[in-house]
Chain A
Amino acid sequence: MKDEAIYRRLFRTALLIRLVEERIIDLYPSDKIQSPVHLSIGQEAVAVGVCDGLKPDDLVFATYRSHGFYIAKGGSLDAMFAELYGRKGGVSGGKAGSMHLAAPEVGLMGSSAVVASTIPHAVGAGLSFKRRGASQIAVAVFGDGATEEGVYHESLNFAALMKVPVLFLCEDNGLAVHSHRPARQSYRLTGHAASFGIATRRVEEGWDVLAIRRATLDAAARVRAGEPFVLEIATSRYKEHVGVGEDFHFNYRTSDGVDAWKRRDPLIVDTKLAAALRPEIDREIEAAVAFAEASPAPGRAELLTDVI
């Protein structure tokens, strides 16, 4: 397929994610979504480029900021909105909500709101592929902040020792809530990973779905051949850490960095393609919202189900 056709496909998914999250922003004041949301607006290209560089049966382990990965892996939009609404038609029956999106049926194996806690799961899943001689790979998705937890280092070490097919994917938005990366870290991620003998790559063009896709294809090929890989992608979180607003008035960052990113963001710059794709995407989203609205709420009968 020509790059142009691929670009169009990836752009569409990225736009879908952005419009879904913008719809969440619209809906939020109505209190229909009664739980915290961590938006990925600004970071969509990472989820889209990476998931397109994977095979459908590769597995992803993610974080609380995973609307993008859920959609990019092919999760049902109806079931996602119903999950955010806390309805029975939700992907986890409405019990998990935005912070714990999981759709194992499409390879999103789980997401956690405890920082870094899914990283070793990908190593375990990778080991299971190796045992079975499968050519699948596992992807651990985490933020830059997550690499400060010991479990990140321990997971890297074990994956390198056991030659596990796992792709460690760091979404580097430079922030952990309101703390900037240089105030938290004395290491460079790639240099650190290299000391375990793990191959690494950092992509600076985190707005560029094609560049991310290519980097993922290359990395995934090496992982499939039987070694871990650390892929770090620079990106930008436009909104506040949690919630639907902006956060420049908190005075811990200015809008300059975000503005510079926006000037390169195809979802903003490529207005022609966005306009062409938008009507169909809007209909898709409205149908999903309608599905959620019509789905019944769980009640006492569901309180104790699926516990064990």
Chain B
Amino acid sequence: MRKLDYAGAIREATAQEMERDPRVFVYGIGVPTWSSIFGTTKGLPEKFGKERCFDTPISEDAMTGFGLGAAIRGLRPIHIHIRVDFMILATNQLINMVSNYTYSTGGKLKVPLVVRAVIGRGWGQGAQHSKSLFSNFTHIPGLKVIAPTTPSDMKGMLTAAIRDDNPVICFEHRWLYWAEEDVPEEPYEIPLGVGRILRPGKDVTIVGLSWMNVEARLAADILAKRGVSVEIVDPRTLAPLDEDLIVESVKRTGRCIIADCDWVDSGFSAELSARINEKCFGRLKAPVKRIGFAHTPAPTVRELENEFYPNARTVVHAVEDMLGLEAANLDGEDFFSHERRFRGPF
């Protein structure tokens, strides 16, 4: 097998599905242009032509409704937003139309639409370029929501999403684009709705979302040196959720920390926490703990970004807290910083 990065996994899954199925097409603001959505659509216009890979006016709302219209007439659109913050302009179509189209046609019409939304922090991106908004969409019946963390998961899950007859929203954290690992060359599907244990452990379960799995892994390495064994569970699909996998893990460890890259209040972590409490109540040795953004719009300046975003340090301290350990001095540890691009493997 060869190594492929996360952006390459997206590109490869898209190209292979476009090759396999002439109904698949890709569109969105900037999609065929030089920047090619962080390289994820590079080469597609040359290979498949302008009819199947095209730019749009800055009209997210209409372009989403357009996708729906194409999808119910047999095409399989992939609509891309370079920031989830811009997808908000499309929420009427997504939440009022796309999500309940099948329902309101008595199951006669399906909407095989994939919407890719880039999330995550950059470098002083500030309040309008750094949201995640998972729970805004997992809240809505009729939408599938995925947030793959690893390149191989991304390839298999995006392939499954494109082949799925239902609308799927795919969240991609932009710091993950450089992550690399072995990824099979041939097309394959990873079924939606199936989570994954990224790292087995026995003392505490960390349910990580998207980028926070990278931070959780760093934290787990640090904690391992002190004899603490951390299990990391990546739901991968947020809706429908692989609840059994999470519940089984928490029952085994008796402790759970949810590490989200989103706001805590009414965030997806609240949903996870509620379900864990419902299903694991008697087995919990400590209350479920949640980690996420501070409850403020994202600041632009680095000093406040460092306070705003949770990271491996936050995770380590949360685990220490839960296990009643003394806070370790983490000065010598190697933490991620965006200047050093994250490179896998996981």
Instruction: Write the residues of chain A forming the contact surface with B, with a CB cutoff of 8 angstroms.
Output: 33-36, 85-87, 94-97, 99-100, 112-116, 145-146, 148-150, 176-179, 183-185, 250-252, 297-300, 302-304, 307
Contact = CB atoms under 8 A, between A and B. Distances in A.
Given A95-B301, A307-B296, A100 B124 contact: no
Nearest to A85: B301
Given A35-B126, A177-B35, A303-B294, A146 B301 contact: no
A150 to B, nearest CB: 6
Contacts of B124: 33-36, 86, 97
Q: Is the interface on chain B under 10, 10 to 19, 20 to 34, or 35 or more residues? A: 35 or more
A95 B299 contact: yes
A86 B302 contact: yes
B57 A99 contact: no
Contacts of B129: 36, 99, 113
Nearest to B294: A303
Nearest to B297: A307
B303 A179 contact: no
B182 interface: no
Interface of B: 29-30, 33-35, 55-62, 85-86, 88-89, 122-129, 294-297, 299-304, 307-308
Given A87-B301, A114-B85, A178-B34, 14 more contacts: A35-B300, A35-B301, A36-B122, A86-B302, A94-B301, A95-B301, A148-B57, A149-B60, A177-B33, A183-B55, A185-B57, A252-B33, A299-B303, A303-B304
A105 B61 CA distance: 34
A42 to B, nearest CB: 20
21 contacts: A94-B301, A94-B304, A95-B300, A97-B126, A99-B129, A113-B126, A113-B128, A114-B85, A115-B58, A145-B57, A177-B30, A177-B35, A179-B30, A183-B55, A184-B57, A252-B33, A298-B299, A298-B301, A303-B294, A303-B299, A304-B296
A297 to B, nearest CB: 4
Contact of A97 (B57, B88, B296, B300): B300
Contact of A96 (B34, B57, B86, B126): B126
B300 A298 contact: no
B128 A95 contact: no
Contacts of A100: 126-128, 300
